[in-house]
Every structure is written in C-alpha cells, then in structure tokens.
Structure 1
Amino acid sequence: MNLVFTRCAEVDVNGEEDEKTAEANIYKVATIDITTANNAEIESKEIYTDCSVEVRSEHEKWNYSGTGRIRGRGNSTWLWYPKKPFRIKLNEKASVLGLGENKDWVLLADYRDPTHLMNTFVFTVGQQLEMPYVNNIRYVEVTLNGDYIGLYSLTEQIEEGKSRVAINEETGLLLSLDADDGPELAPEETDNFWSSVYHMPVCVKHPDIVSDAQLQQIKTEMAQLETAIKNASYSEVEQLFDVPSFIDFMLIQELVYNVEVAAPRSMYLFKDENSKWTMGPLWDFDAGFDFDWGTMYTGHNYFRSHRELVLGTSPLHHTGGYVVPGFFTDLFKSKQFVAEYKTRWLAIEDKIMADYWPATYAYAEEFAEAATRDAARWPIGKDNETEIQRMQQWLTNRVNYLNTVINNYPEGTN
C-alpha cells in the first residue's frame, strides 16, 4: 500500500482530473492574508487568537477564504528569531492550495534556513522514496494585519487524520522521540515518558488524551520494539518494525547530516493495531546541512564541511560520529540489516542529484522574487541564490563522500 501524501490533483466540473494544472501550481508562490481579531499581536504559542484567512493562488480553484485561530509554534524558532512560525486552526476543514482537507496547518518561517529549501529537499526525497505520510510544501507570502511578514512554507500539521497520518482514530499510535516534548523538558505533561531500554524521551501525539492504562500499554509496546532492536535479531525485529522505512529514514538523516538524531528531536514513529511500527513522518531539517551551532542564536551559517557524520564510519560503535541512542544504531550488529542498508543506498545514490535535487530546485525557480522581498523584510546577510548553489555543491560532495563511508560500514556480527 502506498502510504505517501500524494500531490493533490484538481477535479473539474466534469469530474476529470486536471493533473497538469495542479502539478504546475505546486511550485507557484501563493499569498495568504491573515487578520487577527482587533488586530491583536500573536504573542503566545499556547493561546490561540481568532483570525480570518484569505488564500490567493494563480490557480483560482485553490483560492480560499475562511475563519479560524492562530498561535505561535516551534521551539528555538519561536524563541530565538524575529521572523516567527505559526500554527493555524481553521474553524472548518478545508483544502488549502490543493492539499487534503483539514483544520490544522503550519506556516514555517524558514528564518534560519537561507535557502528556504532544506525541509523541501527532504520532503521531496521522502516522497520519491515512497516513505509514509511525507509532508507537502507550498510556498506563500504572508501578510499579517496588513504587514508583509515574508516568504513562508505552508505544510501539514503532523497528526492523525485521513490526509495526514492515516492510522486508526481509535487504536492507532503516533509517537515523537523529542527532548522538548519529553519528561525532562516538559515534566508537567502526562503523555510522555522515558523509554525503558534506551532512555529516550517519548511523547504520545495520538491518541490526544491518554489514560494511565493506555500509557502503560504504549510503554510496554515500545519496550518490546527497543528490546528487539537491542538484541539485533533480524527476524524478531522484522516482526515488529518496518525495516525498509527505518533504512530510508536513517539514510536521509545521514545524507543531510541531521544531528537532531542525537537528542533526539523531531523523530516520529507510528503504528496501527496489529501492525508494525513504522518510522515517520519526516520533520524539521534546518538543523542539518552542517549547521553552525556556534551561531545558533543568529542562524544562517551552513555547508562548511561535507565530511561530518552523524552515525560515523562504524554506526554501531559511533566511530567518528555522534553518540546517538542505540535505537538508531544497534541494528548495525545484524549482517542482514547492514547488507540491506548498503543495497538501498546503492539504489538511490545516483538519483539524489540527478532526480531529487532538480525536483527540489523547481521550487526555487518560482520563489526567487519572493525570496528577494523576504530578504528585504528580514535581512540576514545571505544571498538566497548563492546559498542554494552552496547547498547543491554540498550535497554533491556529500553523496560522493557517503559512497565511500556507507560501502565500508562493518558488515555486522549477528
């Protein structure tokens, strides 16, 4: 079964799909005008403010006007940077810019990312690999209470839903492995816990309300998965875990040098009743691409070296990499897993710059003028086109480097 978010095709009055029109408009920059009640400022990421929302697109069928609520969102992106990200909750479900109907939408500010392409690239790779429930991106220029606030990425909120993570509403599970939502940094919450084997911070994203009995069952199921991974018995793991999704997930983390694996932060997994745990959806990659954490409060500095590694040259022993939770590396004990990991890399390596990068760059060709206006509104001392070229060169070098690294991973011991 294909679990990927599909790019929505338009339907005309005769019921025929207008796929070419929809495909062309995926890359176009739309506009969103947001007006809050009494022009109130958005000062909280906990409290919603009533608002009206108007979306205008070159594709008239995608125009939208409605009401809802808006609040801030994010962690470091909300706290540190002047250009703020937002979450919008519409009063009625709606399709926005051709995406599946829902109330919940996210506006990513991309303030730290001077290319405006980092999440888009990863989502594009994920879609091409047919990973589960990969988000879509639509670029929009946003006006808030009459004030132009720049170029944003509109995307889906990660949550259970027909057009989101389509697990069973009653019995499905969606978890995040995330230090910010976990018991250490959010001790007041009742839906998080430390995993018993790898001591990872886990937060239950679905169900929304978790009883004590449900939480205990989730802890038990998570412990079963962790134990199987720690033992690196491939047959045992395969019964509980969608291994191909995990391989793709980890290849992407290393490809873009996403050090958030170490915390961990923004790592999702899900399952339905009587089905396997599956990694995804993919989320939040502006801490990758060799981000300079020494300038994290101002951001924007990337691409210094393509030779840094998350998993190292020997993932099992973290040689030359980060000490990430064994949940992400203990399967490298398995000879079968290592062989499948290498085979998958060989199958996709040539496509990364030949196919996935051009599909990503198509967005940049369309948002170039909007990026110039964004830079005037939020000057960061970086040229968007130059940074995109640096990103392309970094990825080219990265793929070539990883060819040697991955092909020389130790073969495993089990």
Structure 2
Amino acid sequence: MYLKKLVLGFLVFTLSLTLVNSLQAGDLAFESSNLPIVVIDTHGKAIPDDYRIVADMGIIYNGPGQRNYLHQPFNHFQGKIAIELRGSSSQMFPKKQYALETQTETGENLNVSLLGLPKENDWILNGPYSDKTLIRNVLIYQLSREIGQYASRTRFCELILNGDYRGVYILMEKIKRDKNRVNISKLNPNEIAGDDLTGGYIIKIDKTAGEEVDGWQSIFPPYPGALPRIYYQYHYPKPDEIVSQQKAYIQKWIFNFEKKLFANTFMDPDSGYYPLIDLKSFIDFFILNEISKNVDGYRLSSFMYKDRDSKDPKMHMGPIWDFNLGFGNANYYHGYQTSGWQVFINYDSQFRDWNDPFMVPFWWEKMMSDSVFVKQIIQRYSELRQSTLSLDHVWGLIDSYVDTLSEAQQRNFERWPVLNQYVWPNYYIGQTWQDEINWMKNWIKERLQWMDSQLFDQVPPQPPNRVTVVDVDHSSVS
C-alpha cells in the first residue's frame, strides 16, 4: 500500500517551544527504522526555491546498530532551521531536494554535529529519485575521500516532512569553506591587497538557476568556433559578499591560467600551466568523472579552489559534486555506454546536434593532449586499480550500502513507486531495487574493463573528431 500521511499529533509545540513527536502511520505502519529519522515541521508553509523559511527539525538517532523509534523523543538534534528547495532539473521531481541551515532561536547560524559529521550549519538533504539505486552520490563521494580528495560526507536517513513520510534521504555536507570541508583561508571583504587578496576562493562551473549567481564569462571558446563560453561563478566568497578587488584578482588568475593553456607553449615546464595547478587533484577529478562516466562531468557542478599564495599558490580541482546521472544513469550523450571518454563530450554528435550551451572547458582537451599529463593519469589509475578502484573494493562498498538500505528502500519505493517505471533520464529500468543495484555493479565492471583496455595499453585518450572553425549550428567536423 502507498505510504501516505503520518499525521495525528505531529510535532505539537508546547509553550516552551519544545518539539514533541507523536506520530501514527496512515496506510502502512512506520514505527521504527535502522536509519536515523529526520522530522521537519514548516508549520504549514510551503518550502520555496529562492529564499529560506524558518522551520523546526528534530532527529531521532540512537547510535550505530540501534533502532530508532518514532515514539522516542528527539535525542540527537532539536531546534530551528532555515530551509529551501535546491537543485535544477531535479526540481521537476515530486521528491524534492533541500538545503538547510541550523540556527539558534534568534536566527543566528548554529554550528552543530549532525549524525556524527563535523560541526557546521549548512547542510543538504538529498533525495535520490531518478537514481533508483539510491547510492550513486554516496559511492563516488566515498571513493573520492578514500583516494585523498575531499568530498561531502554523507549519512542515510529517512525524512518526515509535515507529517508526510518522504522516503530515504542522504544528509550531506554542502560544499563550503571550512576547516573540515574545503580547507582554505577565510577571505574577508577588507582583505584586498597583498597575500591576503590571493585566497581563498571557490569557483564553480554550473547552470545559473536556483540561487543568487554572479561571475564572469571566459573569452576562450570551448572548441574552435564554438559560440557559448564557459561561465565561472563565485561560490566563495558568496556573490553578495565578494568585493570588486577580489573579483578582479580571481578573474585575472583564471584568465592567466587559460591563456597559458591556450598558448602553443602550454607544456613548457616553467612558462606553461604546470606551476599553476595541483596536478594530483586534476588527475583524480578526471579519474572519478571517467569511472562513473558522469554525463555532467567537467561542464556542470564542477568546483575549483585556491588558497592564499603563502599557503598554496596552486589551483585545485574539486570537490566533486552531483553524480546522480553517473554510472550509466543517463539515456543521452551516450552516458549509458561503458566505452568512450566523457572529457570529450564536446565532440559527441548528439551533444552538438542539441547545441548544448554547457560545454567542457577547452583546457581539459589541451591537458589531455599533453603526454606528461596523460602519463601521470595512467600511473595514478594503475595504482588505484590495485586498491581503492579494485572491483572487489567498489563492489564491497556497494554491498555495504545495500545492507544498510535493505529495509528502508522498501518504504521509499512504496512512497515513490518508480521501480519498473521510466524516470528522466533513465537508460536502464529495473523491476526491483536489486535489479538496479546489480545493473550498476555490472556497468561499473564493464566500464573499468574498458578503461583498463585503454590506459593499460598506453592508448592516450583522444577526441573522436577534431572540430574546425564552424558556423552557428556547430555542425562542421573534420
């Protein structure tokens, strides 16, 4: 039966504003879970997209290996939050994504540890919908952390919103400057000269919908003749906090980086791009996007960060973000195929036919034409395939998530009956959750085998076609 309202006495507030959780199930009893239970009450207000509303949140969590019961008091967190919708294309789904900020009673930021994660105040509640395995982001983020590149820490939970069971969610860290997240220097508005001005910055390449956006456009085309340009966005400092001198500095820095890569001397060890980047982070970013064949890779949800020159003058690639369309979960741009290099999606025939404006920056192709860069990719990939990226290890992680979710996934898919149904942009449609898991495991196996066949045989990644100067429809290929 369909899980519906979990009302009757939901979140009754006493005069002391203490949150009380007294819930009963509707069509199906939901009394307890092996996952933490997150309960949010917006007091009848709809959660908007472009600003946050104040709500109350409580979490029932008795620790690892313990069951959590709805009749228990909120024993892990109980307090105020500011919450809003998040995401771009995912907002079309009935299962929404949320960004929230833990606050004091007076509306100030409140750093707290949620579900064992380091203290902070900005959090994401990610609700997998088109990803019917429920685990794509969790898997790739863990792999990233295991190879030494920070990615958001995650915790599975079940969400109740205004008395309605909303299914399996993933509490995750928002990408943010913080000693436990992107650990770079704080940049204050009055730091506009000298070493202070040089960092830290977080820049992203992404769609411009969903929140306040500011940035600048590259002057360099993604490929010769392309009309769209890469749009770099300020992520930290925030668009409403970064000052003109800081904007000018980071724009000039990126321009210099692009100019060096655009030049014929880009491989020069002294005057080229090598001194400007943290090579390992770029290589790992490439490997993570390629093992998953992330259809948005390099061109959307792509972050870069730079610290102060006195601490680290180089640009780092990452953290990775938003891989729900990875691991074969896209029926366009050949994202479902286990062959082909995602880094060269600018050359994909369908990509160009659709005139997709979100392109891979030209500098990825330039770096992929550098034999030194590619040699280090091959070396790094070979090392990781013997450890973190061995099939046994990757499948072992997946199996551990399956054990954790085996109970809650049943409630999730009763609430959201999407199994055996097409949800944009699924390629494979499994009849059961286990079908979805098994298909992804096999896809990963075949993807790694294909990458092995290329990189172990010293076949340098190359685009399928070279694009010449083209007309407006971007259709001329040589």
Q: Same fold (TM over 0.5)?
A: yes
Per-residue CA shift, 1:274-301, capped at 9, x if unaligned?
121001111000122233346x9xxxxx
Please point out which of 27, 34, 38 is paired with 1:32.
Answer: 38
8 Å contact from structure 2 (residues 295, 330) kept in 1: no
Q: Give TM-score, length-normalised by structure 1.
A: 0.82
Counterparts of 2:363 and 2:59 in 1: how far apart (Å)?
Answer: 42
Aligned to 2:433: 384
Question: What amino acid is the match of 1:374?
Answer: N
8 Å contact from structure 1 (residues 234, 334) kept in 2: no
Q: Pick closer, same or farther for the CA change 1:53–1:411 going to 2, 3 Å.
A: closer
Question: What amino acid is the match of 1:410?
Answer: P
Aligned to 1:139: 156
Per-residue CA shift, 1:237-280, capped at 9, x if unaligned?
22110011100101111111112136x11000001111210011
Q: Pick closer, same or farther for the CA change 1:250–1:321 going to 2, 3 Å.
A: farther
Question: What amino acid is the match of 1:30?
Answer: P
Counterparts of 2:398 and 2:116 in 1: how far apart (Å)?
Answer: 18
Counterparts of 1:138 and 1:95 in 2: how far apart (Å)?
Answer: 12
Q: Pick closer, same or farther for the CA change 1:411–1:366 going to 2, 3 Å.
A: closer
| Deviation of 1:162 (Å) | 2.4
Residues 1:205 and 2:235 aligned together: yes
Residues 1:193 and 2:229 aligned together: no
Counterparts of 1:273 and 1:321 in 2: how far apart (Å)?
Answer: 41
Please point out which of 89, 92, 107 is paired with 1:76.
Answer: 89
Question: What amino acid is the match of 1:117?
Answer: I
Matched residue of 1:365: which SS?
Answer: helix
Aligned to 2:98: 86
Residues 1:399 and 2:417 aligned together: no
| Deviation of 1:305 (Å) | 3.1
Residues 1:56 and 2:55 aligned together: no
Aligned to 2:427: none
Counterparts of 1:385 and 1:291 in 2: how far apart (Å)?
Answer: 15
Please point out which of 371, 378, 399 is paired with 1:342.
Answer: 378
| Deviation of 1:349 (Å) | 2.1
| Deviation of 1:308 (Å) | 4.2
Taking only aligned residues, the RMSD between alpha carbons, in angstroms, comes to 2.7
| Deviation of 1:227 (Å) | 2.2
Matched residue of 1:102: which SS?
Answer: coil
Counterparts of 2:320 and 2:268 in 1: how far apart (Å)?
Answer: 24
Matched residue of 1:258: which SS?
Answer: coil
8 Å contact from structure 1 (residues 33, 144) kept in 2: yes
Counterparts of 1:329 and 1:354 in 2: how far apart (Å)?
Answer: 32
8 Å contact from structure 2 (residues 419, 433) kept in 1: no
8 Å contact from structure 1 (residues 175, 206) kept in 2: yes
Q: Pick closer, same or farther for the CA change 1:379–1:180 going to 2, 3 Å.
A: same
| Deviation of 1:230 (Å) | 3.1
8 Å contact from structure 1 (residues 34, 52) kept in 2: yes
Counterparts of 2:162 and 2:102 in 1: how far apart (Å)?
Answer: 17
| Deviation of 1:213 (Å) | 2.5
8 Å contact from structure 2 (residues 341, 461) kept in 1: no
Counterparts of 2:375 and 2:85 in 1: how far apart (Å)?
Answer: 44
Matched residue of 1:113: which SS?
Answer: coil
Counterparts of 1:129 and 1:62 in 2: how far apart (Å)?
Answer: 34
8 Å contact from structure 2 (residues 157, 171) kept in 1: yes
Question: What pairs up with 1:142-291 in 2 under 5 angstroms?
Answer: 142-170=159-187, 171-180=199-208, 189=213, 191-198=214-221, 199-208=229-238, 209-231=241-263, 232-233=266-267, 235=269, 236-261=272-297, 264-274=299-309, 275-291=313-329
Per-residue CA shift, 1:1-53, capped at 9, x if unaligned?
xxxxxxxxxxxxxxxxxxxxxxxxxxx621101111x22222x1112121111
Counterparts of 1:200 and 1:130 in 2: how far apart (Å)?
Answer: 28
Question: What amino acid is the match of 1:271?
Answer: K
Structure with greater helix share of residues: 1
Aligned to 2:476: none
The unaligned stretches of length 5 or more in structure 2 are: 1-33, 65-73, 104-109, 188-198, 222-228, 352-358, 421-431, 463-478
Aligned to 2:130: 112
8 Å contact from structure 1 (residues 86, 106) kept in 2: yes
Counterparts of 1:269 and 1:319 in 2: how far apart (Å)?
Answer: 25
| Deviation of 1:163 (Å) | 2.4
Per-residue CA shift, 1:357-403, capped at 9, x if unaligned?
31243122111111110000001024212101111111011100111
Counterparts of 2:178 and 2:365 in 1: how far apart (Å)?
Answer: 31
Matched residue of 2:169: which SS?
Answer: strand
Counterparts of 2:418 and 2:215 in 1: how far apart (Å)?
Answer: 37
Question: What amino acid is the match of 1:112?
Answer: S
Counterparts of 2:394 and 2:62 in 1: how far apart (Å)?
Answer: 25
Question: What amino acid is the match of 2:284?
Answer: D
Q: Give TM-score, length-normalised by structure 2.
A: 0.71
Aligned to 1:122: 140
| Deviation of 1:211 (Å) | 2.1
Matched residue of 1:203: which SS?
Answer: strand
Counterparts of 2:184 and 2:308 in 1: how far apart (Å)?
Answer: 9
Counterparts of 1:341 and 1:392 in 2: how far apart (Å)?
Answer: 24
8 Å contact from structure 1 (residues 339, 411) kept in 2: no
Question: What amino acid is the match of 2:446?
Answer: N
Residues 1:46 and 2:69 aligned together: no
Counterparts of 2:148 and 2:178 in 1: how far apart (Å)?
Answer: 19
Question: What pairs up with 1:295-306 in 2 under 5 angstroms?
Answer: 304-306=336-338
Moved more, 54-63 or 244-253: 54-63
Counterparts of 2:378 and 2:236 in 1: how far apart (Å)?
Answer: 33
Question: What amino acid is the match of 2:180?
Answer: S
Q: Pick closer, same or farther for the CA change 1:98–1:211 going to 2, 3 Å.
A: same
Counterparts of 2:444 and 2:75 in 1: how far apart (Å)?
Answer: 34
Please point out which of 345, 348, 356 is paired with 2:394.
Answer: 356
